[in-house]
Structure 1
Amino acid sequence: MSAARSRAARVLALWCPDWPAVAAAAVDEVPPTRPVVVLHANRVVAGTATARAEGVRRGLTRREAQARCPGLYVAQADPDRDARLFEPVVAAVAEIVPGVEVLRPGLLVLAARGAARFFGSEEAAAERLVDAVAATGVECAIGIADELSTAVIAARRATIVPPGEGPRFLAPLPVAELAVEPSLAAPERADLVDLLHRLGLRRIGDFAALSPAEVGSRFGADAIRAHRCARAEPERPPSAAPPAADLAVEYPCDPPIDRIDAAAFAGRLLATRLHERLAGASVACTRLIVSAETAAGEQLSRVWRCAEPLTPEGTADRVRWQLDGWLTQRALRGVPPEEDPGGAVHGRGIAPGDPRSFAPGQNPAGATGEHHRGHGVRQRGARSAGTPPYRPGPAPITVLRLEPIEVVTTAALQMGLWGEAGDNEERARRALVRVQGLLGGTAVQVGVLSGGRGPAERITLIALGDEPSPRSDPDLPWPGRLPEPAPAVVLVDHPGVRLEAADSSPVWVTDRGDFTAVPARLHWGRKHWSVTGWAGPWLLDEQWWGGTRPDCLVRAQVLLDDSVRTLLLLGYNRAWHVEGLYE
């Protein structure tokens, strides 16, 4: 690629570090000095710099994260919250440079050429955008490169990659960087990275050294896209092309929408209409404009970009996020500053000009996009001198419009029999029904949450298709129940293990409910691990009326030295058995 061509196609990526954790901390008004993490499926998916300084990393379970950092503030993943609070940031950038595309809450891209020409240079444009985002109370980092994926990786390092230097910039980076951004990678990208590691390709340059023919013949379609990213080859840049008018759909809002629940209903209805029209044209959308008109005549629009073709559910989510952001911004800006002298946060988001100031050490990022430790959202305080003047938010929405900018053939999107897309649960259910027809009605069973004290008691297996009625009421108190979280895997056959002390003597439980010795090792078959921590033991006194219970029944939890697995042990007849696994 020539230098002139690469400069014309330059892409600017703006990344707000740890955005899910930043948004959660802002909503819950957590002090910036307290570490914060966000969980999904009981695993850490995002955390602040203060949490990482305490050793908390993505992928840890809640138990492991809290063990490393006892003062950790834990929030649950909420895409609606993340998108709602990111809208003021997008609006601040769009006021300076048009053509903003949102990849996900916390990350946006735009064409760098216009911004560089207007401000005089790419460095000046980056500095101006960082200042604009800092005015909303958020820290960010800027990356500029020839290709979009390279710019996103550069933003994580606050780097401006010179034209034509993309391959050289990427070559020494770990190959895991190709999968770190979910908005640009397919779900199977993590498996590809693991395979490349096992093949000895540890750096992006090692993977880029393979020829396209070698990658295409040995790996899947996503590996080909990852290989193009590793070689910094041309990708689809941010687009300023006009929308496809024949595929656009419009919804007149009567009465005008000024509530989030009404916006969610309208967004789902319009998403269904859009995908019916896309299905009729045998195409799927990968880049979408969400636009709206207000009762005051305002024109609002935002571009959403996706790595994979949008499904109806994905489109409805993005429409809901966007309308939620606009309406929340309206609610926040609708309170004049003289009526809010304390600078309290109203609603559920943070709007540009929110009267907050950084705590010591939490200054906005500079021209290079370098960010400091902390949550990155301004805390409550006096209005700073640089805060923009008060402006009212948009009026209620009267017209909603969806316009697909970029479409691909439906071969890129697996459609269901009745037009649905990505309905994995329904396809799995149909397969189970077929197996049930071959093997019998009780051959396929599903679990229903039940009441009980042990993990096995809290699962009632019901034949597929029967009424999901639990054996016991799960809402009863059940004193003495095993505390949350429940084991990820429950073993009904209770395989035996041997718990030993440091001198290889077996460990059991005294009459007072203590271990006879400090647990040091655990043997399971031919494998053994060192025990680095434990909880319990807890003596169980239940079902004494049955007459068949063991003399001593006890539970304990042990943490193995690999730090990624905890076992729930059940002891009886002076032997230990594995009842559950915490993954």
Structure 2
Amino acid sequence: MRVAALWFPDWPVQAADLDEEVAPGVVAGPVAVAANHHVEVCNGPARGAGVRRGMRVRQAQAVCPELVVLDANPERDGAVFGAIADSLDDVASSVEILRPGLVIVDLAAAGAFHGGEDRALEMLIDATARAGVDCLVGAADEIATALIAARHAGRGAVVAAGESREFLAGEPVGVLIAEAALGVDARLVEQLGKLGVRRLGELAGLPRGQVVTRFGQAGAKAQSIAQATPDRRVAPELAVTELRVGLTPEEPIERVDAAAFAARQLASLLHGKLDAAGLVCVRLEVVAEFTSGQRLERVWRTREALDEEATANRVRWQLDGWLSTARAAEAGGIGRLELVPVEVAPPEAGELFGARTSDEQVRRAVARVQSQLGVDKVLVPRPAGGRGVAERVEFVPYGEARDPAPRGTWPGRIPGPLPARLGGGMNHPASRFYLVSAKDEPVIVTAEAELNAEPYAAKWGAYVYRVAGWAGPWPVDAQWWTAEPGSRVARLQLVGQADGEEVQRAWLLYFARGAWRVEAAYF
């Protein structure tokens, strides 16, 4: 399989220019698109002046006084891009829109038809050429790799067949969140950076089991991208005809407002069927049959399951684009409209109450549980101040407003990355940990806050580990007035490996009253 990804950088700015929302030549200067008083997208001149995504509009205007700020308009972005994507139909048969400003094409089929991959790529670029519109192209064996290649070095890249993993190895981990269509959580990338994983090649080389254990399915997905794991085809044909919905209007649809009404009506019908089947739609095909007999089709894909509003929006964007083109004007009005969910799936397990849970639904559900069990029985964690691990997480009743955690530098606090699993507490029997030297003597912390011998082996429950490394000990001076006279309290980081195991394990140990306890584990 070969995939081409066509990426239109800063698409909302380009869409505003194509839709003549701004005066000619304005986008040559700094322009930003904002929503909720924050910058969502900014063009190259604006970034050169210091404007960044997420920045408050006032701050952006202070940084760049000549900045032109436009209101976000998803309907305009989708409709204008739908018209551009239509021009690809003359070059490729399998075209799929991931979002306004990003489209993928089955390059293998297009190359076979046009006599070569290079020729097909050239024709794809020519088909989308518009005055003032920038387009970068990436090509690879997988969809995810092609998306990353389109952003490579700010000019795109063509990855030769079979060389995806070598290409990805040198890419920074941050590219996983540069493109929202990849569906990688920004918090995961932040954690990888704290662990010292800087390149996709380093992520690809990590043991699969440890990645899944530490980061769950989010980590497995990110590693699959880094390993160039083969994925699905572009716009594959799937048999879901029983979920298809259609509408034949009394009069052909020729106006955008009529198209918007039909889109909302069809979206409601479609999601009624999906709800009855217990499914959600992640890839939707919009089919329009014009009175002249012409038939237009377009596939939209989203990173998250489509709800009724999102479905209606995409249908409206597509119909707006079709009705605005000269091709549609010659074909007459739309005499038949259909929605085909070409890819469906069960609701994700991570969504607590289904695929379209709102915050209000969650609050109502939690309130019912609290009414039965008590307010203090439904707790949520929040960051707290402290030096250790357990004391930096505070559990508070759901919905209860409390003062923010005290700010402070907390000298001597445990540095990140923090352990993934807390122990059962210092007095819990399962927290007992035994550390011995090569002479089978107990290893303890001396009065000088040093180990009396080098750790050689450790015993935790029924398991015995050979010590592979350690760091510390570090004296714990907090609440010294509560300690027993002459007691020594310290922390130690320890790495060990059991016989017959291929992976190493790590713990944060706590020494008090002459014994070791497991405060937290790094696995």
Q: TM-score range by the shorter chain?
A: 0.5 to 0.7
Letter in 1 for 2:336: V
Q: Which residue of 2 aligns with 1:102?
A: 97
Q: Give SS of 2:159's match.
A: coil
Q: Which residue of 2 aligns with 1:377?
A: none
Q: Which residue of 1 aligns with 2:12?
A: 20
Letter in 2 for 1:397: I
Q: How does 1:184-223 map to 2 (within 5 A)?
A: 184-185=182-183, 189-223=185-219
**Cα gap change, 1:526 to 1:161, in 2 (>3 Å):** closer
Q: Which residue of 2 aligns with 1:383?
A: none
Aligned partner of 2:59 among 56, 60, 64: 64
TM-superposition CA deviations, 1:337-385 (whole Å, max 9, x none) = xxxxxxxxxxxxxxxxxxxxxxxxxxxxxxxxxxxxxxxxxxxxxxxxx
The answer to whether the 8 A contact 1:311-1:422 is kept is no
Q: Which residue of 2 aligns with 1:401?
A: 338
Letter in 2 for 1:219: F
Partners of 1:135 and 1:32 in 2: CA distance: 14
Letter in 1 for 2:123: R
Of all paired residues, the percent bearing the same amino acid is: 40
The answer to whether the 8 A contact 2:50-2:64 is kept is yes
The answer to whether the 8 A contact 1:309-1:412 is kept is no
Partners of 2:263 and 2:289 in 1: CA distance: 14
Q: Which residue of 2 aligns with 1:163?
A: 161
Q: Give SS of 1:296's match.
A: coil
Residue 72 (structure 2) pairs with residue 80 (structure 1): no
Partners of 1:277 and 1:438 in 2: CA distance: 36
The answer to whether the 8 A contact 1:413-1:421 is kept is no
TM-superposition CA deviations, 1:97-130 (whole Å, max 9, x none) = 1111000000000111111122322222111111
Partners of 2:313 and 2:108 in 1: CA distance: 31
Q: Which residue of 2 aligns with 1:180?
A: 178
Partners of 2:371 and 2:35 in 1: CA distance: 32
Once the two structures are TM-superposed, the CA of residue 436 in structure 1 deviates from its matched residue by 9.1
Partners of 1:252 and 1:60 in 2: CA distance: 46
Q: How does 1:229-308 map to 2 (within 5 A)?
A: 229-308=225-304
The answer to whether the 8 A contact 1:16-1:140 is kept is yes
Partners of 2:358 and 2:345 in 1: CA distance: 20
Q: Which residue of 2 aligns with 1:485?
A: none
Partners of 1:297 and 1:413 in 2: CA distance: 44
Partners of 2:28 and 2:358 in 1: CA distance: 42
Q: Which residue of 2 aligns with 1:427?
A: 362
Letter in 2 for 1:97: A
**Cα gap change, 1:14 to 1:238, in 2 (>3 Å):** same
Partners of 1:276 and 1:391 in 2: CA distance: 30
Once the two structures are TM-superposed, the CA of residue 151 in structure 1 deviates from its matched residue by 0.2
Residue 31 (structure 2) pairs with residue 33 (structure 1): no
The answer to whether the 8 A contact 2:110-2:117 is kept is yes
Partners of 1:209 and 1:190 in 2: CA distance: 20
Q: Which residue of 2 aligns with 1:576?
A: none
Partners of 2:408 and 2:359 in 1: CA distance: 37
Q: Which residue of 1 aligns with 2:106?
A: 111
Q: Give SS of 2:250's match.
A: strand
Once the two structures are TM-superposed, the CA of residue 182 in structure 1 deviates from its matched residue by 1.3
Unaligned stretches of 5+ in structure 1?
A: 1-8, 334-389, 441-463, 465-490, 496-523, 528-583
Letter in 2 for 1:421: R
**Cα gap change, 1:423 to 1:492, in 2 (>3 Å):** closer
Letter in 1 for 2:16: A
**Cα gap change, 1:174 to 1:393, in 2 (>3 Å):** farther
Q: Which residue of 1 aligns with 2:500?
A: none
Q: Give SS of 1:406's match.
A: strand
Unaligned stretches of 5+ in structure 2?
A: 376-398, 411-523
Aligned partner of 1:127 among 122, 127, 131: 122
The answer to whether the 8 A contact 1:309-1:413 is kept is no
Which deviates more, 79-88 or 136-145? 136-145
Letter in 2 for 1:40: A
Partners of 1:137 and 1:128 in 2: CA distance: 18
Aligned partner of 2:347 among 410, 419, 434: 410
Partners of 1:285 and 1:255 in 2: CA distance: 29
Partners of 1:59 and 1:24 in 2: CA distance: 20
TM-superposition CA deviations, 1:400-441 (whole Å, max 9, x none) = 101121222334584858xx723233323554687799999x
Q: Which residue of 2 aligns with 1:91?
A: 86
How many residues in Structure 1 have an aligned counterpart in Structure 2? Answer: 378
Which deviates more, 308-317 or 72-81? 308-317
The answer to whether the 8 A contact 1:174-1:203 is kept is yes
Once the two structures are TM-superposed, the CA of residue 195 in structure 1 deviates from its matched residue by 0.9
Once the two structures are TM-superposed, the CA of residue 68 in structure 1 deviates from its matched residue by 1.8
Once the two structures are TM-superposed, the CA of residue 202 in structure 1 deviates from its matched residue by 1.6
Q: Give SS of 1:44's match.
A: strand
Q: Which residue of 2 aligns with 1:309?
A: 305
Partners of 2:263 and 2:83 in 1: CA distance: 20
Q: Higher helix proportion, which one?
A: 2
**Cα gap change, 1:492 to 1:228, in 2 (>3 Å):** closer
Once the two structures are TM-superposed, the CA of residue 154 in structure 1 deviates from its matched residue by 0.6
The answer to whether the 8 A contact 1:311-1:421 is kept is yes
Q: Give SS of 1:275's match.
A: helix
**Cα gap change, 1:280 to 1:128, in 2 (>3 Å):** same
Letter in 2 for 1:254: E
Letter in 2 for 1:152: L
Which deviates more, 265-274 or 422-431? 422-431
**Cα gap change, 1:122 to 1:223, in 2 (>3 Å):** same
Partners of 1:437 and 1:168 in 2: CA distance: 56
Letter in 2 for 1:20: P
Which deviates more, 76-85 or 34-43? 34-43
**Cα gap change, 1:439 to 1:211, in 2 (>3 Å):** closer
Once the two structures are TM-superposed, the CA of residue 136 in structure 1 deviates from its matched residue by 6.6
RCO comparison, higher one (Cα < 8 Å, 6+): 1
Letter in 2 for 1:271: A
Partners of 1:412 and 1:310 in 2: CA distance: 16
Letter in 1 for 2:287: S
- Compare CA radii of gyration and give the structure with the larger one: 2
Partners of 1:431 and 1:95 in 2: CA distance: 53
Q: Give SS of 1:37's match.
A: strand
Q: Which residue of 1 aligns with 2:2?
A: 10
TM-superposition CA deviations, 1:479-531 (whole Å, max 9, x none) = xxxxxxxxxxxx999x9xxxxxxxxxxxxxxxxxxxxxxxxxxxx9889xxxx
Once the two structures are TM-superposed, the CA of residue 15 in structure 1 deviates from its matched residue by 0.8
Partners of 2:15 and 2:234 in 1: CA distance: 26
The answer to whether the 8 A contact 2:14-2:132 is kept is no
Once the two structures are TM-superposed, the CA of residue 155 in structure 1 deviates from its matched residue by 1.0
**Cα gap change, 1:425 to 1:316, in 2 (>3 Å):** farther
Partners of 2:370 and 2:56 in 1: CA distance: 34
Q: Give SS of 2:94's match.
A: coil
